[in-house]
Amino acid sequence: MQDFKMWIGGQWVDAHSGKTFATTNPSTGEEIGLVPWADAADVDKAVKAARAAFPVWSKKTQAERSKILVKIAEAIRANAAELAKMEGLEHGTPYKDAFGVAMGAADKFEYSAGIAPTLMGEHIPVKDGTLSYLQREPAGVIAFIIPWNLPTIMTAVKLAPAIAVGNTCVLKPPSINSMIGLKFAEIFSKVDMPAGVINIITGPGGSVGSAMALHPDVDMIGFTGSSETGKRILADAGKTCKKCVMELGGNNPVIIMDDADLDASLKVLGWRQFNNSGQHCSGPGRYYVHEKVYDAFINKFIAYAKTVVVGNPADEKVTMGPVVSREHQNKVEAYIKKGIEEGARLVFGADKPEALKKGFFVMPAILADVTHNMTVAREEIFGPVAVILKYSDKDDIVALANDSPYGLCAHIWTRNIERGMQLVNDLHVGSVFINCQMLTNEQPWGTSVKESGIGKEGSRHGMAEFTDLKLVCINYNV
């Protein structure tokens, strides 16, 4: 078992209390590392370090900050293999996928280094003798709370744009993926960056996350996670009117029209359903399949599910590892059981091999004959479970798709692009994907629709979230 320390103010430190907790290998259920159990005293120390670093970091030129971000990207690439192995060990991601994610994290820093210089102010023409303009300034000290479903890429998604524009940060990795967060700290420690620009502390979200949200010297909160947790953080942050950017829950509708290319759709949707064991906020939540292609779609989905190889992510043949924890395993399997109890038909769901019973594995599952009001159609399962509903031309498919507390994204599959485009304006979501799903560095992600979040991440739009916009007016005709 490996022991870890936190990274605060450019130094490796234990928790103030001296307490630790263990992280677990989800493939075996075995404890693999001991990490510090931080509390409010550690949060205060980290925030003070970030506040002390802010004048130094924010006053650097954009070119100076961008050069450091490029060095971070290079360091991540140099450590990508080790990061990938750690994500496989602590999160259960197959190595090939994990390596790609690590390289993607490096790309986030490199992209932010390049795009930050374009995030400048703008001139506002007013009356003669007066100059009026807007300038962007860093928000200040930002506290980040990272989700457990995508710990490597989300660390980069949060940190890269924030520090690129001059903010300093305190970051709490997910408790069950703390080793990954502290590996990033090791990478950052080897880059010539002022002490305190990035601080990484570990501990329970309920106490550490709340202490971060309540701290009077934190200017902004960045959070990805469940809508329920997001609401609690918003309540804490509201006590000092902190700015918040939040990507929360989703139960994303997929509309399979009667003319859809089913094979093409499942190459995308099947992969999204089972990749990362279905632990994607952007993944398919509920499939509305037209009655004309309903049976064919289910049969093709079953055929796809049979190709998924479940097992230890260290095995090169494995394409899907475990879910992240025993608690989440029990939750996902309870949803499958609930679906069957409410009348859904389990058309695919293999028995779990004896070799996988020690780990936190959930076998791929497909529930058919689901109705709109069943629990599995209403709630976010967040696992490798496809939920399939039948619709006809008599149904108001837009009303069904919009009938959810969430509004993250929607998927449409049709050969008739005109038909698909007719739905775009009526779907109350932040993103619509027609015959595809993609998310590049240049595209913003997130939403301010219903309970799915506040603000955007990624792209120039997401970077702007980490700035304050200041108006300056000058009368020079005096």
Task: Determine whether 28 is exposed, middle or buried from the number of CB atoms within 10 Å of its CB (0-12, 13-18, 19+).
Answer: middle
Q: Which amino acid is at 123?
A: H
Indicate the SS3 state at residue 96: helix
Residue 406 contacts residue 246 (beta carbons within 8 Å): no
CB within 8 Å of 310: residues ≥ 6 apart: 318, 319, 320, 321, 356, 361, 363, 364
Region of 382 on the Ramachandran plot (φ > 0 left; ψ -120 to 50 alpha; else beta): left
| Catalytic residue flag (residue 281) | yes
The one catalytic residue in 87, 169, 244, 281 is 281
Whose structure tokens read 């205060």? 44
Report the distance separating Cα 413 and Cα 398, nearest Å.
14
Q: How far is CA 398 from CA 207, 281, 290, 332, in A?
A: 41, 21, 13, 27
SS3 sequence of 328-348? HHHHHHHHHHHHHHCCCEEEE
Burial 417-442 (b: 16+ CB within 10 A, else e): eeebeebeeebbbbbebbbebeeebe
H/E stretch holding 391 reads: strand 385-391
Tokens of 86: 């750690």
Region of 37 on the Ramachandran plot (φ > 0 left; ψ -120 to 50 alpha; else beta): beta
Tokens of 144: 């980040």
Residue of 176, 222, 217, 183 whose CA lies nearest to 200: 183
Instruction: Determine phi and psi for 189, rounding to 5 degrees.
Output: -65, -20
Instruction: Determine phi and psi for 448, rounding to 5 degrees.
Output: -115, 30
The one catalytic residue in 90, 247, 379, 465 is 247
Tokens of 420: 């698909």
H/E stretch holding 2 reads: strand 2-3
H/E stretch holding 197 reads: none
Whose structure tokens read 């080793």? 179
Residue 31 contacts residue 196 (beta carbons within 8 Å): no
| Catalytic residue flag (residue 247) | yes
Could you list the active site residues?
A: 247, 281
